[in-house]
Structure 1
Amino acid sequence: MADYYQLAVEKRESIGNAANKTLRRNGKIPANYYYKKQDNINLILDSKDLYHALHSGHHVFEVKMNGDIQYVMIKEIQYHPVNESVLHVDLMRVRRDVKMTISVPIHLEGEAIGVSEGGVLSQILTSLDIECLPTDVPEFIPLNVSELEMNSSLSVADITISSNVSIITDEEQVVATIAPPKEEEEPEIEIEEGEEGEEGEEAVEGEEGAEAPAEGGEEKADDRGKAEENAE
């Protein structure tokens, strides 16, 4: 028989925002209990007890209702948008002899070969949807990545799991990959069009200035020739 975390509950007589605020100030959390077509039951949880339950690694909890032991899982938790304190909890009853669908976290284990070669390990899928009896719900699903090489990946199909558990998630979904680290791109130096044009203009002006003395030299040579003819 599996062990379950015993979550203490008590019936909640007063409902409404004012009553719920009073409960929270006193370290209590308002909750609701659901089961198929039965009427919902308003409950009170102890905030410290709930904290320990959430960190126990269990997904199914044992509660005592009207003297009878029932088994529940947390369906939904409402958190405060600013301080993230728990505002409300929905509990859903489960039967130990009826299979249930639940999402369980995936834990990567081992040192990947690709990481030792300088690659970067990325976990793409963090949880797995499974179907099993409440007594067979694992705390997490392990996946060994030791043989994962550079530029390779592992999918849901590579996960080994107990025969009492069925995987619902598509087996082709990628769970983890290893890729080379991204190379830092060197910044490109852009040359403004205006700068290049100004240099070209200066060069043209320089060439024209160099030709001017040559023309003046030709005129002086002609004058000397005429003077020599007159002297003769």
Structure 2
Amino acid sequence: MSTQVILKADRRHGTGKGVSRKLRAAGKLPAVLYGGDKESLSLSMDANETLLLFQSISVENTIVNLQVDGAKAPIPSLVREIQVHPYKTEILHVDFLRIQEGVEVELEVPIELIGTPTGVSDQGGVLEQTQYVLPVACVPDAIPDVLEIDVAGLTIGDSLQVRDLNIPEGVRVLMDEDQTLCSVQAPSVTAGDKEDDADGEPTLVGEDDPEAPVSDS
């Protein structure tokens, strides 16, 4: 089951840019909770507390239990969208999706590569990861923390696809099984490497070209 955390939130009665600016000036963060066939809730929460929490978790697949003032119990949710400041380390707004026990939800799960490929350690290749998350669908109790895949046996030219992942029971993959996750590539050859491979013999102008002009001198 996925990691779960708790985040305190207050009901927010006003909406609009003016209200949001006042909240941020007071160290608060505007947010909204929606979904689950229930009315949306406008919320606010401590901006710094939220930022520190999000920096410490895998936001895509961590269940955030919102402790909303007046609610009888924490409300389980997933982070759906985070709006951030263009150049400051600051969250501007968060959208939370209300989730329900036994009801399937779509989300993304991080992919973690385990080990060092033989093609890297012994052959000097480069490991390239092209897919960092996997879109899946499952009920909240079945949300994986991470999907691991062993890359130790890969040599240069090898690759792993979605079909090579060990998908937990109850998790439905929402991506083509032929999609490449990672591969081991041969090291790129630089200009310096090519010069080192040359035999060092100078080539005379016109030596190998019968049509080259001949000097009369």
TM-score, structure 2 length as denominator?
0.80
Contact 1:73 1:94 in 2 (8 A): yes
Counterpart in the other structure of 1:74: 79
Distance between the aligned counterparts of 2:98 and 2:184, measured in 1?
41
Contact 1:8 1:49 in 2 (8 A): no
User: Which of 124, 134, 155 does residue 118 from structure 1 map onto?
Assistant: 124
CA shift, 1:111, in A, is 1.2
Distance between the aligned counterparts of 2:12 and 2:165, measured in 1?
43
Distance between the aligned counterparts of 1:32 and 1:51, measured in 2?
16
User: Which of 94, 114, 128 does residue 89 from structure 1 map onto?
Assistant: 94
Classify 1:3/1:105 alpha carbon distance in 2 versus 1 (closer, same or farther; 3 Å): closer
Question: What is the root-mean-square deviation in Å for CA atoms of aligned residues?
Answer: 2.6
4+ long deviations beyond 3 Å: 36-39
Look up the equivalent residue of 2:84 and give its one-letter code.
Y
1:34 aligns with 2:21: no
* Residues 8-62 of structure 1: CA deviation (Å, up to 9, x unaligned): 1101123222221121122210011112554321100112321243223352111
User: Which of 57, 60, 65 does residue 62 from structure 1 map onto?
Assistant: 65
CA shift, 1:153, in A, is 0.5
Distance between the aligned counterparts of 1:29 and 1:13, measured in 2?
14
Distance between the aligned counterparts of 2:51 and 2:30, measured in 1?
14
Contact 1:148 1:178 in 2 (8 A): yes
CA shift, 1:149, in A, is 1.2
Distance between the aligned counterparts of 2:51 and 2:3, measured in 1?
18
Counterpart in the other structure of 1:45: 45
Q: Greater Rg, structure 1 or structure 2? A: 1
CA shift, 1:84, in A, is 4.4
The unaligned stretches of length 5 or more in structure 2 are: 196-212
Counterpart in the other structure of 1:230: none
Aligned residues between the structures: 196
Counterpart in the other structure of 1:137: 143
| Higher share in helix | 1
* Residues 130-149 of structure 1: CA deviation (Å, up to 9, x unaligned): 12111221222111101111
Distance between the aligned counterparts of 1:22 and 1:99, measured in 2?
37
Look up the equivalent residue of 2:71 and give its one-letter code.
G
**SS of residue matched to 1:7:** strand
Classify 1:107/1:43 alpha carbon distance in 2 versus 1 (closer, same or farther; 3 Å): same
TM-score, structure 1 length as denominator?
0.76
Give aligned-pair identity as a percent: 28
Classify 1:161/1:18 alpha carbon distance in 2 versus 1 (closer, same or farther; 3 Å): same
Contact 2:2 2:63 in 1 (8 A): no
**SS of residue matched to 1:8:** strand
Look up the equivalent residue of 1:43 and give its one-letter code.
L
Distance between the aligned counterparts of 1:132 and 1:38, measured in 2?
21
